[in-house]
Amino acid sequence: MTGTASPLRVALIGYGVAGSFFHAPLIAAAKDLVLDTIVTSDPQRRARAGSEFPGVRFASTADELWERPDELDLIVVASPNKTHVPIATAALTLGIPVVVDKPIAGTAAEARELAALAAGRGLLLSVFQNRRWDADFLTLSRLLGEGALGDVQRCESRFERWRPQPKGGWRESGDPEEIGGLLYDLGSHLVDQVLTLFGPVVRVYAESDVRRPGAEADDDTFMALTHANGVRSQLSMSATTAQLGPRFRVLGSSAGFVKYGLDPQEAELRAGRRPSPSEPWGVEDTAHWGRLGAGESPLTGGGSPVESAPGDYPAYYPAIARALRDGTPPPVTAEEAAAALDVLEAAALSAREGITVELSR
């Protein structure tokens, strides 16, 4: 595809929350990509998509795409978790590069099988880990790169919500085939982030509960991870948190960084705002900036405010386009996703058996 002048043609499979609020707008905002086809059989979703993306084609099933593989340059899989592996396998087998929403699979073994299939055919396979481009994560990455915290000792990372009533659907199903629950949903983000920041994990302990009446899948989960370099990560994900804790609290030998509040990009996308080169994007209000210091409490104004880096979800798909055209590495690899699944599987085992799980170095 090197040297191709026309935009790369993308088929998006799934137009639920992930497809409509994240993938479709971000694909459309990437100048080297064009949203060619959306796969959904829902008439209302088709109407909304057709209104926002005039000229887009529709298909009712992924099988319709396999009848015209030469017309597509990239498949994006944003359908329910249990469909990720079979759809990605079909696309790669037909020679089409693939982006899969997280989690790429239910097991690390399946993820590595997909990675081997893509590598054997010389095809791109990437995973949409958009939280690597959150404002808070980018800010923390910058601080660590500057050595502002000294030697990091502990990272607390939370993704908490107050949703006392289950919403239903496959994400909250207790059926293992659905790959639902917060461990694989929010945990996929939290684990990917700490692996990116602090490297491989060698020890995993987890506690997981179903707190809400009528809920079937885990909705309150905690993980304690020991990284090979000695950093300890404590990760919390919950739908039952009546008072939210800090998004990040990272402690080092010379300073700590505390940050409250979520990155604004998801809320902006859900509200209908779209990335534009002419307008600022992902900028946090000063009231939400984190604080850096030693010995003070940020709740009483201690420490120094740290300007948040702008969040940058729109960076993902241009990086995919460059990887397709020029052969540069994709922004997230399937091997990285498999490493995160190693941790998630160990956490599930730990919570189920009440044990600490050792991972091979």
Residues 106 and 150 grouped into a single domain: no
Count of alpha carbons within 13 angstroms of residue 224, beta-carbon side: 8
Give the pLDDT confidence score for residue 229 in this predicted structure: 97
Q: What mean pLDDT comes out for the span 184-207?
A: 98
C-alpha closest to that of 10 among 2, 239, 26: 26
- Mean pLDDT, residues 267-288: 95
Whether pLDDT at 137 is above 90 = yes
Q: Is residue 3 part of a domain?
A: no
Verify that 123 and 137 share a domain, yes or no: no
Angle, helices 334-353 vs 108-121, to 10°: value is 170
Q: How large is the average pLDDT for residues 130-150? A: 98
> Are 26 and 137 in the same domain?
no
Q: What number is the average pLDDT over the span 122-146?
A: 98
Is 176 a domain residue?
Answer: yes
pLDDT confidence tier of residue 2, bands split at 50, 70 and 90? very low
Residue 103 belongs to domain with CATH number: 3.40.50.720
Handedness of CA 149, 151, 153, 155 (dihedral sign): positive
Backbone angles phi, psi at 72, to 5 degrees: -125, 140
Please check whether residue 88 lies inside any domain of the structure: yes
pLDDT of residue 214: 85
Residue 217 domain-assigned (yes or no): yes
Same domain, yes or no: 77 and 155: no
Residue given tokens 């939290």 in the structure block: 190
> Is residue 339 a part of any domain in this protein?
no
Longest CA pairwise span in the chain (Å): 63
pLDDT of residue 174: 82
**Statement to judge: residues 111 and 18 lie in one domain:** yes
Give the pLDDT mean for 95-122. 98
Q: What's the Cα-to-Cα distance from 24 to each of 14, 38, 270, 275, 320, rounded to whole Å? A: 10, 9, 12, 12, 14
- 306 assigned to some structural domain: yes
pLDDT at 170: 81
Could you tell me if residue 111 is inside a domain? yes
Tell me if 292 sits within 8 A of 143, measured CB to CB: yes
In this structure, the answer to whether residues 183 and 301 fall within a common structural domain is yes
Q: Is there a single domain that holds both residue 156 and residue 290? A: yes
289 and 302 assigned to the same domain = yes
Q: What confidence score (pLDDT) does residue 5 get?
A: 66
pLDDT tens digits along 228-257 = 999 999 999 999 999 999 999 999 999 999
**Does residue 97 share a domain with residue 168?**
no
CATH code for the domain in which residue 196 is found: 3.30.360.10
pTM of the model: 0.95
| Total domain count, the chain | 2
What would the mean pLDDT of 100-112 be, rounded to a whole number? 97
Mean per-residue pLDDT of the chain: 95
Residues 118 and 82 in one domain: yes
Q: How confident is the model at residue 202 (pLDDT cuts 50, 70, 90)?
A: very high
**Residue 308, both tokens:** 């948040």
Residues spanned by the domain of 276: 131-312+344-353
pLDDT at 1 > cutoff 70: no
Nearest in space to 255 (alpha carbons), one of 152, 142, 140: 152
* Higher pLDDT among residues 292 and 361, named by residue: 292
Residues 14 and 135 in one domain: no
Residue 7 has pLDDT above 50, yes or no: yes
In a domain, 337, yes or no: no
Residues 154 and 300 in one domain: yes
Residue 73 CA to residue 95 CA, distance in Å, equals: 9
pLDDT of 330 > 90? The answer is yes
At residue 4, does pLDDT exceed 60? no
Which stretch of DSSP H or E encloses residue 11? Answer: strand 8-13
User: Does 3 have pLDDT greater than 70?
Assistant: no
Q: What is the pLDDT of residues 32-85, one digit of tens each?
A: 999 999 999 999 999 999 999 999 999 999 999 999 999 999 999 999 999 999
